[in-house]
Structure 1
Amino acid sequence: MTALLPGFTPVAWALLAVAALIVGLSKSSMPGANTISIAIFASLMPAKESTGALLLLLIVGDLVALSMYRQHADWRALIRLAPAVLAGLLLGVVFLAFVGDTGVQRVIGIVLIALVGITIWRRAARRGGTEVSLFGRLAYGSLGGFTTMVANAGGPVMSMYFLAARMPVRTFLGTAAWFFAIINLTKVPFSIGLGLITVETVLMDLLLVPAVLLGALCGRWIAGRISQRLFERAVLGLTVLGALYLIVA
């Protein structure tokens, strides 16, 4: 088994463990934080291979989040997003098959900054209620599907959608848990077909699963104590950090 594991240094393994812990944390309390995990994995592995390796850990985090928040989901919002998300996901598959991902990451980062600005402006101007327009659903859904397939970076996009819909903390986390569990499981056969998931990455991820579980437990503790206002500010802040990473990476 050890012969099949990637030859990382002890420091690299420690960084991967931190990234895995952040995955668990992001799934149970801090959506968008997993962009930090994306950065760590991408710095230690080739970009496309890192996407496949991180996907399996994200699925573990999704399952843990479902065990915590599955009853709080807004299914109406999920169903209305589904067509646009699927279209974006398929576009991402085609993109990965033919194109590298550096340029599109910068575009995604710029779009995220714009979404944060629009969200803050709408709130300051007290525009809109809890209903997101058809155009908004199409834009958020297709971009979310595309970014999650290309770079596992759909979290910040969908966080902006859930904030725009003014979801309470637990509804936000439950809806996100179901959304990404379904989407990430859908991505697995595509990722295997594209060669992004290998025996090496599966064995590596098995060693990192305990860190995901620890992060999720820490996140559950935070989620039970954080206020709605602080939660929303944290989501916006993490989205900006994630966008900046995508722009400069």
Structure 2
Amino acid sequence: MLSALSVLDLFIVAMAAFILGISKSGVKGISIIIVALMVLVFEAKASTGILLPMLIVGDIFAVIYYNRHAQWKYLIRLMPFMMAGVIVGTLVGDDMPEYVFRKSMAVVIFISVLVMFWWDQRKSKKVPQHISFAGIMGLTAGFTTMVGNLAGSFANIFFLAMRLPKDAFIGTTAWLFLIINLFKVPFHVFSWGTISWATLQVSLLFIPAIFLGLFVGIRILKRVNDQLFRKFILFMTGLGAILIFFT
């Protein structure tokens, strides 16, 4: 598989790995750009299997670095629904036309971002506590992370709604995605066949670019306050939705 990649392909994947590192350092909302870059080089479904081990490398670092900030009560509320969504995504992923999925998810993500902008402007900041909110966000995030590694937007919306401060947001999502991404591995190996030794060779090649992105991302976050961090996540999530719609 490596021999089939051109110099341009290698550069694009390296850029995706670098941005992945920045994302896993805590700069949320940019993961959709990674998905779009990977799809430029690989087929959509194949790209999910190549990207998954790279995500796990970033997740491990994020958990080590931000572990003390995790808010487990929110994580436990969302995780069972995400796992159920992964299973549903595995079952229906083969039959869903790629262009239908991408355009519909882009619309849903973009509408969700608009809702969050509107919610931020409200005088009342009451946090959605009903289990149905966690259920809808969790099932959608689990389904989209299996089919296209697109869970970040929906998880972001859930944790933003919980009004978590920056470090708690990063620490909680770090644990969430490490657990969910490890949960996805057997489905990619045994059900879809999108992870093999050949794909792992591609994934492992770009680990240095991930670590470079992690280093840069940590330096960026030290200069960002909670309010700016929240606005940046919403902006990048909306931008990512537009990119998905037109790719």
Compute the TM-score of the two structures, normalised by the length of structure 2. 0.95
SS of residue matched to 2:93: helix
Matched, 1:23 2:20: yes
Partner of 1:202: 200
Deviations 1:111-158 (A, max 9, x none): 111111111111111333345432211111111111111100001111
Deviations 1:144-201 (A, max 9, x none): 1111111000011111111111111110000110000000000011011211112221
Structure-2 change in CA distance of 1:136 and 1:127 (3 Å): farther
Of 28-37 and 128-137, deviating more is 128-137
Of 154-163 and 82-91, deviating more is 82-91
Once the 2 structures are TM-superposed, how far is the Cα of residue 233 of structure 1 from its aligned partner?
1.1
Partner of 2:133: 136
Q: Any gaps of 5 or more consecutive residues in structure 2?
A: none
Instruction: Give the Cα separation in 2 of the matches to 1:129 and 1:6.
Output: 54
Aligned-residue RMSD, C-alpha: 1.3
Instruction: Give the Cα separation in 2 of the matches to 1:131 and 1:217.
Output: 35
Give runs of aligned pairs for residues 48-127 of structure 1, distance below 5 A: 48-127=45-124
Give runs of aligned pairs for residues 7-22 of structure 1, distance below 5 A: 7-22=4-19
Compute the TM-score of the two structures, normalised by the length of structure 1. 0.94
Partner of 1:236: 234
Alignment size in residue pairs: 246
Instruction: Give the Cα separation in 1 of the matches to 2:7 and 2:240.
Output: 26
Instruction: Give the Cα separation in 2 of the matches to 1:53 and 1:217.
Output: 22
CA contact (8 A) 1:86 1:145 kept: yes
Deviations 1:8-29 (A, max 9, x none): 1112111111100000100112
- AA aligned to 1:47 is A
Partner of 1:245: 243
Matched, 1:212 2:207: no
- AA aligned to 1:38 is V
Instruction: Give the Cα separation in 1 of the matches to 2:96 and 2:3.
Output: 25
Of 4-13 and 233-242, deviating more is 4-13
CA contact (8 A) 1:21 1:212 kept: yes
Instruction: Give the Cα separation in 1 of the matches to 2:3 and 2:186.
Output: 22
Q: Any gaps of 5 or more consecutive residues in structure 1?
A: none
- AA aligned to 2:145 is T
SS of residue matched to 2:176: helix
